[in-house]
Amino acid sequence: MSVEEPHSTTGRKTTLSENTLFGMGNPLLDISAVVDKDFLDKFGLKPNDQILAEDKHKDLFVEIVKRSNVEYHAGGSTQNSVKIAQWMIQKPHKVATFFGCVGKDQFGKILKKKAEEAHVDAHYYEQNEEPTGTCAACITGDNRSLVANLAAANCYKKEKHLDLDSNWELVEKAKVYYIAGFFLTVSPESILKVAKHASDKNKIFCMNLSAPFISQFFKEPLMKIMPYVDILFGNETEAATFAKEQGFETDDIAEIAKMTQNLPKENKSRQRVVVFTQGKDDTVATVGERVTMFPVLDIDQNDIVDTNGAGDAFVGGFLSALVQDQGLEECIRAGHYAANVIIRRVGCTFPDQPDFH
């Protein structure tokens, strides 16, 4: 299967149209720099984590931009994933749509420009009250500690943006939906509206556990959406936290995947698929009644530049195959390929063309 000529599992060509894939989330500008343990300790950060910024992190944003090796990249988990999906698909442009909130400022302009360059059809809700959100990516070795200052991203309003006819039409055009769990902290009512639409129309709604704090502190909105989730993504740490919060009483990842698959579901005609990545270890996925392990691509430890964005890239690759009606195994293969490309580069960035067959 070449990228230019996608084939569906039946062997006929799937002609992709614009806005087939819909994503909604927190558009953030990533500010990434290599730091040391002292820097992490100073701000009380774990080497590998994702958290929301608190007052004690104010100086972190001041300090990180002064570092000699600082880089700026368009980020935000969902936006990363739809951008990678679009990159994997290449043509036509604008297969991927993205909604989120930015400020009317320089960082907002950069995000718009980056989305255009990636050929993603981004429709931002722009407001003046808060500046565009940022995410500090503090890199040590092959770990990354992410501190998100949502700012404008936190101001997304369903009635001011999603509900507008011209925007909702774009939602209706899509066949596959993806929203990272991070957006639960912003607008659960927007997620619910999109998830219900997908379920009612027998389309595919995908979600990500995103970070341990989502399962811990946003359990109620997460579990309100769960009955509508057709495909759930997460990594091993998020899966373990989710299992603990749900009282699954097991730390076996295959067992957790199975129990998550069996949680209540609205649209009975689609069995839920659960996909858990584990870094360099096998990806775990529910296939029908079984749980299957899919090995990741080998990579030399020295070739790993930055694992920030690996999870987003996996989802992006997966979604690119999914919108082309590929089976689960092929979706996972595309996900593994995309993640393998991303971890060789700083931030969630990619070469001009994918080399995926």
Active-site residues: which are they?
Answer: 312
CB of 55 within 8 A of CB of 41?
no
Task: Compute how many other C-beta atoms are within 10 angstroms of the C-beta atom of residue 309.
Answer: 31
Q: What is residue 132's DSSP assignment?
A: P
What whole-number distance in Å separates Cα of residue 250 and Cα of residue 267? 27
How do beta strands 96-103 and 121-127 pair? parallel
Structure tokens at 344: 């060789």
Distance in angstroms (rounded) separating the CA atoms of residues 285 and 280:
15
Sheet holding 71-75, edge to edge: 49-52, 143-149, 133-140, 28-34, 71-75
Q: What share of the chain is helix, strand, coil (3-state, %, to 5)?
A: 40, 25, 35
Written as one string, the DSSP assignment of 191-218 is HHHHHHHHHHTT-EEEEE--SHHHHHHS
Backbone phi, psi, residue 90, to 5°: 65, -75
Compute CA distances 35 → 1, 206, 340, whole Å.
41, 34, 23
284, 257 contact by CB (below 8 A): yes
Quote the CA–CA distance of 310 and 306 in Å, as a whole number: 8
Give the Cα separation of 296 and 293 in Å (integer). 10
